[in-house]
């Protein structure tokens, strides 16, 4: 059964779950919205969304050094309690995300962190490229938002497809782990070091 994007968006608005999680739930529910909501609830995704506002004062700083020792990452990831911070699930999540950062080279954790001047510069570059392709101004105005959206998704960690399972975003991985561990989890910050840069 083909799942429509509008149904995925509707389920996403109702539950707050990520797009891929919504799509999978709709596929499992054969397109029935109420059943898809129930599937997400059973997986604890709705409770994960409710936990997103809770304070995260514990956590860990994890390092990842790529074989060959020419690339490394330091990542700060937070949760609510020291108990969860010490679990294998939380630690393996932190290591997986650090490894992903090394491989995918995101520039920001989330879209809101991108400075407006960076977006403006990209917009100028995209507009110039489209003019070079002889696109009319009215068409350029329609294409630009999609190009900027795609650019943001490529450079923001939370929106990137996870390198181990590309059909799922980092945001979805985090949501699933919040549901499993029962605590809010936040990726605070990271820094990626490459020898010679």
3-class secondary structure per residue, 99-125: HHHHHHCCCECCHHHCCHHHHHHHHHH
Render each residue's pLDDT in the chain as its tens digit; 197 residues. 678 778 877 777 666 666 677 788 888 888 888 888 777 776 666 555 555 555 667 889 999 999 999 999 999 999 888 888 999 999 999 999 999 999 999 999 998 999 999 989 998 898 888 888 888 888 888 888 888 889 999 999 999 999 999 988 999 898 888 888 888 889 999 999 998 88
3-state secondary structure of 72: strand
pLDDT of residue 49: 55
Phi, psi (deg, nearest 5) at residue 80: -85, -35
CA 62, CA 59: separation in Å to the nearest integer? 10
- Global model pTM greater than 0.85: no
State both tokens at 133. Answer: 């392709």
Q: Which domains are seen in the chain, by residue range?
A: 5-43 (1.10.8.10), 58-110+156-194 (3.30.479.20), 115-154 (1.10.286)
End-to-end CA separation in angstroms for the chain: 48
Residue for token pair 């399972």: 165
pLDDT of residue 11: 75
Residue for token pair 């969304």: 49
């Amino acid at each position: 059964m083909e799942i429509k994007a509008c149904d995925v968006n509707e389920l996403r608005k109702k539950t707050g779950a990520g797009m891929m999680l919504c799509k999978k739930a709709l596929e499992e529910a054969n397109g029935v919205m109420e059943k898809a909501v129930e599937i997400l609830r059973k997986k604890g995704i709705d409770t994960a969304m409710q936990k997103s506002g809770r304070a995260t004062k514990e956590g860990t700083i994890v390092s990842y050094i790529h074989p060959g020792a020419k690339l490394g990452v330091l990542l700060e990831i937070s949760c609510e309690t020291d108990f969860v911070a010490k679990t294998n699930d939380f630690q393996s999540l932190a290591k997986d995300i650090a490894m992903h950062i090394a491989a995918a080279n995101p520039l920001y954790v989330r879209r809101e962190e991108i400075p407006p001047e960076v977006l403006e510069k990209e917009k100028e570059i995209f507009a110039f490229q489209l003019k070079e392709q002889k696109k009319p101004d009215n068409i350029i105005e329609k294409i630009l938002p999609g190009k900027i959206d795609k650019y943001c998704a490529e450079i923001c960690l939370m929106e990137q497809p996870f390198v181990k399972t590309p059909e799922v975003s980092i945001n979805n991985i985090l949501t699933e782990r919040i549901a499993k561990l029962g605590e809010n989890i936040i990726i605070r910050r990271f820094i990626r070091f490459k020898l010679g840069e």
